[in-house]
Structure 1
Amino acid sequence: MNAAVKGKLYLVPAPLDFGCASQAPLQDVMPLGTLQIAARLSSWICENAKSTRAYLKRINELQPLSIAVQALQIQELPREVHKKGDHAGQFDAKPLLLAALEGRDIGLVSEAGMPAIADPGSSVVRAAHDLDIEVVPLTGPMSLVLALAASGLNGQNFAFVGYLPQDAGGRAQRIRELESLALRTGQTQLFIETPYRNAALLQALLQTLQGNTRLALSCGLTMDNGVSRSALVSRWKRDKPTVPLDLPTVFGIGR
């Protein structure tokens, strides 16, 4: 390939079942066009090479890869990017894009959903734009959008605020701040937690939120045992619905 012609950066979604005991059939949650493009890419940027290879092996069962998994060029984002994020601009990802400058297409993938949305990857996208590399987002599952659509909350004005504080005092204060903002402005507030802390977060929400605030949970989106529930906090307390909190969950509060 002519090195004067730059490759593209493809943002490749991944299924939402990462870390779960069961997996959804890939053909049920990923569009064929996305799988076809992913199958031909030989260069990748990811969070974790091992899980990326596992995902590509799943793709290979439906769309044969252009080269063997062992021969793929897979680069991991630094560990500090996973811990602190790369959305604020501190990390220079340009060295990761050498293959594109040499004319080869690159795939950017995260552990689940769309890279750079509630996951690392924005530094790679910024670097691509700065290097005049075309960025192409592909179609696939995105937990935040699916959860928002299933919540009944305001989908015209919303914010994703990431993780809430782990300590009880800071978490309760942050919940009250987000509730006040949501009730005052009508802006839906979305957030997530590590699955093993989901139950503690739900308990804190029920203890802290006002009864007339709407609370929505989407657990295990796109999976057979996935559940979406949305109700006023007063009803959550009254009915005590059972939800699979051991699965990846998106929380939302609003009017």
Structure 2
Amino acid sequence: MKGTLFLIPTLLGDSPIENVIPTYNIEIVRNLNIFIVEELKSARHFLKKAGYPRPFDSAEFSVLNEHTPSTEISELLNPLRNGLSVGLLSEAGLPCVADPGASLVSICHLEKIKVIPLSGPSSLFLALMASGFNGQQFVFHGYLPIEPKDKIRKIKDMETSVLKNKQTQIFIEAPYRNKKLLQFLAETCRPDTLICVASMITTTEESITTLPAFVWRKKIPEIDKKPVVFLIGI
């Protein structure tokens, strides 16, 4: 019998684990010995918060991130093929959602390896919930283009989707460029287009604010070096 791949959500910030992660998840984590992780340091930090009962040296960790060669991904599933269960952890939030792991899960389905997604925090969906925007139609774009001309075109296309289809647009940026992006966004959008800035979700520094573009133009908050989700909508 093959093992089970558990998709394990992790913390979005330095929050008390009991405030964010279900007890059921913690019990599963404590009983696993093999983990596929996006980043080793953050994974060990999460396991420590979860009260992992054994020394980390006794557990097996493999890294899966954007630098992992596609030819090596299948090898990560060998423990599952041999009947052992494995936990997949991203650096923050849900595995496989705006994070590595989808290709691994795809192979599991092809090989009939059971995949169990566990409940947990997603900055994208929590931001959408709190934005006041349409939750029936939405799209996540990941990162916007770097080149200003391409970025303007992308923002205008997103704004058109908002106005014509009431489709909420969700995207992110590298933390050190958050403030610059918000300024660019506020200046590019129509004055009445609503922009939501959701920062440090689930932490004590959480801030979620929805305002028209013309209001954001007047004052850009200090959001650099923080995890932020941006949304535009009506």
The reply on whether 1:191 has 2:171 as its aligned counterpart is: yes
Does the 8 Å contact 2:12/2:92 carry over to 1? yes
1:14 aligns with 2:10: yes
Compute the TM-score of the two structures, normalised by the length of structure 1. 0.86
Matched, 1:142 2:122: yes
Conserved in 2, the CA contact under 8 Å of 1:10 and 1:107? yes
The alignment status of 1:231 with 2:211, answered yes or no, reads yes
| Alignment partner, residue 16 of structure 2 | 25
- What is the Cα deviation at residue 51 of structure 1? 2.2
**Amino acid aligned to 1:45:** I
| 2:140 corresponds to 1:160 | yes
Q: What is the RMSD computed on CA atoms of the aligned residues? A: 1.8
1:73 and 2:60 aligned = yes
Match of 2:82 in 1: 102
* Amino acid in structure 2 at the alignment position of 1:75: S
Measure, in 1, the Cα distance between the counterparts of 2:203 and 2:184: 26
Letter aligned with residue 133 of structure 1: I
- Percent sequence identity over matched residues? 37
Deviation at 1:242, TM superposition (A): 3.4
- 1:213 is matched by which residue type in structure 2? T
3-state SS, counterpart of residue 182 of structure 2: helix
1:117 matched residue in structure 2? 97
Q: Distance in 1 between matches of 2:168 and 2:182?
A: 17
Give the direction of change, closer, same or farther, for the CA distance of 1:91–1:115 in structure 2 (3 Å limit): farther
Question: Which amino acid counterpart does residue 56 of structure 1 have in structure 2?
Answer: L
CA distance in 1, matches of 2:167, 2:193: 12
Is the partner of 2:50 in helix, strand or coil?
helix
* Superposed CA offset, 1:2-31 (max 9, x none): xxx1110000001001xxxxx111111111
Q: Which residue of structure 1 aligns with residue 228 of structure 2?
A: 249
Match of 2:196 in 1: 216
- How many Å separate the matches in 2 of 1:187 and 1:91? 37
Deviation string, structure 1 residues 152-171 (Cα, Å, up to 9, x no partner): 11100000000011222222
Is the contact made by 1:94 and 1:128 (CA closer than 8 Å) also made in structure 2? no
2: distance between equivalents of 1:170 and 1:200?
Answer: 16
**Long gaps (5+) in structure 1:** 18-22, 83-89
The alpha carbon displacement at 1:46 in A equals 1.3
SS in 2 for 1:229: strand
1:167-206 to 2 correspondence within 5 Å? 167-206=147-186
- Cα deviation 1:164-196 (Å, max 9, x = unaligned): 112222222211111112211111110001111
Q: Which runs of 5+ in 2 are unaligned?
A: none
Structure 2 residue corresponding to 1:42, chosen from 33, 36, 40: 33
- Preserved CA contact (<8 Å) 1:81 1:120: no
Structure 1 residue 55 and structure 2 residue 46: aligned?
Answer: yes
Question: Cα deviation per residue 1:186-232 (whole Å; 9 max; x = unaligned)?
Answer: 11110001111000100110110001211111000000011000122
Instruction: Decide whether the 8 Å contact of 1:43 with 1:106 is kept in 2.
Output: yes
The 1:197–1:81 alpha-carbon spacing in structure 2 relative to 1, beyond 3 Å, is farther
Matched AA of 2:9 = P
Change in CA separation of 1:174 and 1:161 when aligned onto 2, cut-off 3 Å: same
2:131 is aligned to 151
TM-score (structure 2 length as normaliser) = 0.94
Aligned residues: 234
Structure 1 moving runs of 4+ over 6 Å: none
**8 A contact 1:226–1:244 mirrored in 2:** no
Instruction: Give how far 1:112 is off.
Output: 0.4
1:118–1:71 distance in 2 versus 1, CA, 3 Å: same
2: CA distance, partners of 1:241 / 1:28: 30
* Alpha-carbon distance between aligned partners in 2 of 1:242 and 1:200, rounded to the nearest angstrom: 11
2:49 partner SS: helix
